[in-house]
A and B are shown apart, each in its own frame.
Chain A
Amino acid sequence: MKASPISWLQRLPAAFATAAQLLAPRSAVCLLCGKPHDSARSAATASQAKLTSQLRQSLCGACLSAIPWLTRIACTRCGRGIPCDDCIRSPQRAFVCNRSAVRYNPAMKEMLALYKYRGNEQLAPLLGDMLFPVFEAMTAELPMEACTATKSKAAKRNPADYWDAVTYVPVSAERAIERGFNQAEQLASHLGGHYRVPLVHLLQRARHSEKQSFKSRSERMRDTKALFSLNEVELDRIRIMSSASSEKSHNVSEFIRILLVDDIYTTGSTAEACAQILKREIEAPLKIYVLTWARS
């Protein structure tokens, strides 16, 4: 792969961001435990070199090393660290696979609660940064399972070439008003912004009125099935992409690769529901990958 002037230009923003990071104010205390952090110690941790500097600077050494990274995967489908009964029982999924950044242990539960329920949005870039390693690993896995024919020699591939769009699991309008933000959307936009993958707001959660009790069982069943619906406005962007995807260098086959982001993967039913809607409503061939922050 030759380094064209365009790819150089594309790297410029990243270089600027890195340079700006050097000037960014360092917070004096750890964002998680609130203790003043020992910058000497946290900088010296060599094993965490793959993490972004922002992550290393805003957390103290103790909190950083307490993150249970999910590096060893036992279930290739749902990305769990241990063999997974669910996936053996129901192997048919609408999405290709799920990968998660961390194991959902009590510490991570607390971290997510701080962000999601307490509303400490300062943590959003941190959680977003935590997705980077797993996203890169996921991208590296791709050619092996998707198009083995293409040989990829380049050590560092540009993930933007492999992904057509990143989208997220939506929240209902009521929840958005109550919470003020959608954690999955923030994570997705952070990831998309960093790797220059376009963020599309493909899905929306159907508004659930309080009149649920007046509905019959079958109506309710249908309702829970139709929990998500497609955002028609954004659909056009996907159509444009599908026509453009054939021009993309990497892709011999005719499908669109979409990354669906969520904060936590428990049983996979949310991801499954979203993926099903996408597959059903979009006529173009899709490959949906799920990226979650935590795997419980």
Chain B
Amino acid sequence: MKAQVYIVELSGAWEARLTINSVVDKHYWLVGSYGHYGNLNGKLADSGWMMKEELPLGDACRVVELWGMASKRRSGNEQGSRLTYAGDKSLLRAVKQLLACSEEVRREAAQVGGTTNNRWWQRGGPRDMETSRESLLPLGEMWVTQGHETRGGSVSEDYLASQLPGEARLNREGTGDKQFDRGREVLGLEELAGWALLAADVMQGRALLRSEAHALLLRAAGPGAAAGWSGVLQLAALLGRVRLSGSVAAGAGGRSDALRRRRRERRCQRCGSGEALLHRTACAACGRECAYCTACIGMGRSRECELLATGHRSLQLESRPPVLQTSVEQRLAKWGLSPAQTAAAATALSFVEKQAPNPMQTSWDEAAPARDYLLWAVTGAGKTEMIFPLVESVLLRGGRALIATPRRDVVIELDPRIRKAFPDASVVTLYGGSEQRWESGDITLATTHQLLRFYRCFDLVIVDELDAFPFVGDKILHYAADKSCAPGAARLLLSATPPSELQRAARRGKLQHARVPVRYHRHPLPVPKLYQTPTVLQMLQQQKLTVKLQAAMLGSLKRGAQLFVFVQKIAQTEPMAAMLRNRLQHSFVEATSSQDAERTDKVRRFRSREIRVLVTTTILERGVTIPKSDVYILDADGALFDEASLVQMAGRAGRSADDPFGQVYFCSRERNRAQLSAVRHIQTMNRMARKQGFLLPTSKGGSAK
């Protein structure tokens, strides 16, 4: 889309702005009153001048930025001399500067876009800068106050009027006829101001593309506001509550004199992707070549001339209201946590409640980074229960909490548990296709992808299963998770198998952390047994299992357990299920994978014990809890099963207090490092639990053999 740039004179100094709806700006700067909302602008402008030509949005932003840099430079050079250029001369000078800025931007754009599509700038204003007012002023529209006695300038209004182009003159005559439709106008203004204030509220902490902002307005303020979205957003921006910018733009900063030498790197302002992931095409919306981001295109197209509206979060977290006077112990007691959970939750809680090192900053660009805390809890430790006290602490202080996880099914599963734990709080659950997309609440539950749409919104961010696909190794999602934290917010990283760099940081003391080495039922984790077997391919070819494996499986069935059978390849799931059905003489064997349309249904039937043996891939390595289950990992030496995923799959066994000694088998031709380190990982956790006295006294340690 396109935008216009203008300058306004605020008590002698000129300021450049951009607008996507110039009528709103004109009223804001020259009149400023909005019916019963009163005067929203405390600092009216004496006059203004708006460039008539519409620029691509990204360019308009850049013009304003260049203007800011130029005037900063100038005010450094000649201090206070600004005011000596009063009235007409000052206006001309400002206009000239604005035109020079836009010319500069045009040159920059032409350099980037090459010469393939230069129609846009050829059509533009004069190439050589003329200096006479007769040639400059008609390039724009002059804004002057109605009651011109308030103006301090020396230019007479009649003279200005003669300089104005036809259209602008008509406008002025129209506004001169104020008795005519004053009533309707005031009503319209009141409506606009109401919508803008509402929009500013609902936009808080969000970063939305134009179409998303439109949908949000439609939802929050109704069709009227949505139809006039540009005016509503523009007024909210004038009030300083929303920032409007191009969605792909060069980052602010960098030395201004370095611009010539090095081309500025553009980035997607939403997902942080750099030039390598941007794709430049001719754009009909802005009339020149402009870049779009290919990385986050699944969440709507972010491009140079696309509007990104970012809402400023005005509410700040109170540090210590009286409610928090109750001690940490008292607050933890009500959640009924196990000793290990309590210990970890207490340290995490003191971390969360600690004052942020830097005071909250309100500027757009600089802010204290989020403080990270790693909660390393074994599978089945009861991580969700541990985060309840933390969420409660933030809610009591009037903050917003976010629980994010890479997987959509986990979000959906978490939803009822959170609602039950916090019946009084408003909970919003976000995922692709969620109904609550445009609502805001105290607690937000979201997939990590949804975080792209937030900007410094949350005082507590909890990232669950941070080592799971697709979060791990996805730079966009990490960027989104960083961006969603309010300045100085606490961020809690939850995992049973943290990535090695986090483990290293924790060990070196660079990352604060707590380990929960024991499950909530205080029994040790089942230690996997290593069996030597042929590969799955060979087993399928020969249509038989090894004697030992078959005996173990029959034993598991006999003791009434349910069996997880993990294989490497989706293609092997069905044949393996067929063979097991045959060999085990058992008909309740099913297979599922990510490409199975009936996956949800099969998992449900597995939960309800209708299916006894489920052959699957890593898709079910986490999130599914079956009370009495044994785990068989076939081809455990395969490349797809690394230490983390072996530990996760082993974590499916023995999760309930009724059957804490589930069995885990790693079946493979060779034992490799992943298997051994997974076993070591589990044994270390068990040893640590025993040392710290978290295990039940009756247990002798190790899994039941």
Contacts and interface: CB of A to CB of B under 8 A. Distances in A.
Nearest to A120: B297
Contact of A182 (B279, B284, B301): B284
A119 B292 CA distance: 9
B297 A119 contact: yes
Interface stretch (A97-105, A173-181, A215-223): A173-181
Interface in B285-315: 285, 292, 294, 297-298, 301, 303
B96 to A, nearest CB: 31
A118 interface: yes
16 contacts: A119-B292, A119-B297, A119-B301, A121-B292, A122-B279, A124-B281, A176-B285, A177-B284, A177-B285, A179-B285, A180-B284, A180-B285, A180-B303, A181-B282, A181-B283, A182-B284
A118 B283 CA distance: 14
Give the size category of A's interface with B. Answer: 10 to 19
Contacts of A177: 1, 284-285
A46 B522 CA distance: 60
Interface string B259-293: 00000000000000000000101111100000010
Contacts of A119: 292, 297, 301
B91 to A, nearest CB: 33
B229 to A, nearest CB: 14
Interface of B: 1, 279, 281-285, 292, 294, 297-298, 301, 303
Given A178-B285, A180-B285, A180-B303, A121 B279 contact: yes
A296 B385 CA distance: 53
Interface in A166-217: 176-182
Contacts of B292: 119, 121
A176 B281 CA distance: 14
Nearest to A119: B301
Nearest to B283: A180
Contacts of A180: 281, 283-285, 301, 303
Contacts of B285: 176-180
A180 B297 CA distance: 14
Contacts of A181: 281-284
Contacts of A176: 284-285
Contact of B298 (A118, A122, A178, A179): A118
* Best-buried of A177, A179, A181 by chain B (most CB within 10 Å): A177
B209 to A, nearest CB: 11
A66 to B, nearest CB: 14
A74 to B, nearest CB: 32
A130 to B, nearest CB: 19
* Best-buried of A120, A121, A122, A124 by chain B (most CB within 10 Å): A121
B284 A118 contact: no
Contacts of B297: 118-120
Contacts of A124: 281
Contacts of A122: 279, 294
* Best-buried of A119, A122, A124, A178 by chain B (most CB within 10 Å): A119
A120 B281 contact: no
Contacts of B294: 120, 122
Nearest to B282: A181
A121 B281 CA distance: 8
B298 to A, nearest CB: 7
A181 B297 CA distance: 16
Contacts of A182: 284
B281 A179 contact: no
Given A120-B301, A122-B294, 14 more contacts: A118-B301, A119-B292, A119-B297, A119-B301, A120-B297, A124-B281, A176-B285, A177-B1, A177-B285, A179-B285, A180-B281, A180-B283, A180-B303, A182-B284
Q: Which 7 A-B pairs have the closest CB atoms?
A: A176-B284, A119-B301, A121-B281, A180-B283, A177-B285, A180-B285, A120-B297
Nearest to B301: A119
A182 to B, nearest CB: 7
A188 to B, nearest CB: 14
A182 B285 CA distance: 11
A180 B289 CA distance: 10
A146 B292 CA distance: 44
A121 B284 CA distance: 13
A75 to B, nearest CB: 34
Nearest to A171: B284
A177 B279 CA distance: 18
Contacts of B283: 180-181
A175 B505 CA distance: 51
Nearest to A181: B284
B177 to A, nearest CB: 25
A92 B612 CA distance: 64
A149 B294 CA distance: 51
A124 B279 CA distance: 12
A179 B284 contact: yes
Nearest to B2: A177
A193 to B, nearest CB: 13
A233 to B, nearest CB: 14
A82 to B, nearest CB: 27
A181 B283 CA distance: 6
Interface string A40-77: 00000000000000000000000000000000000000
A176 B298 CA distance: 21
A134 to B, nearest CB: 25
B583 to A, nearest CB: 32
A120 B293 CA distance: 9
B246 to A, nearest CB: 14
Contacts of A178: 285
A182 B283 CA distance: 9
Contacts of A120: 294, 297, 301
A181 B305 CA distance: 13
A177 B1 CA distance: 7
* Best-buried of B1, B284, B292, B303 by chain A (most CB within 10 Å): B284
Contacts of B1: 177
Interface string A93-135: 0000000000000000000000000111110100000000000
Nearest to B280: A121
Contacts of A121: 279, 281, 292
B397 to A, nearest CB: 41
A64 B71 CA distance: 56
A222 B386 CA distance: 69
Contacts of B282: 181
B296 to A, nearest CB: 11
A177 B297 CA distance: 18
A185 to B, nearest CB: 9
A140 B303 CA distance: 41
Nearest to A117: B301
Nearest to A173: B284
B58 to A, nearest CB: 13
B284 to A, nearest CB: 4
B474 to A, nearest CB: 12
A294 to B, nearest CB: 21
Nearest to A27: B294
Contacts of A118: 297-298, 301
Nearest to A177: B285
A151 B77 CA distance: 81
A199 B283 CA distance: 18
Nearest to B211: A178
A122 B295 CA distance: 12
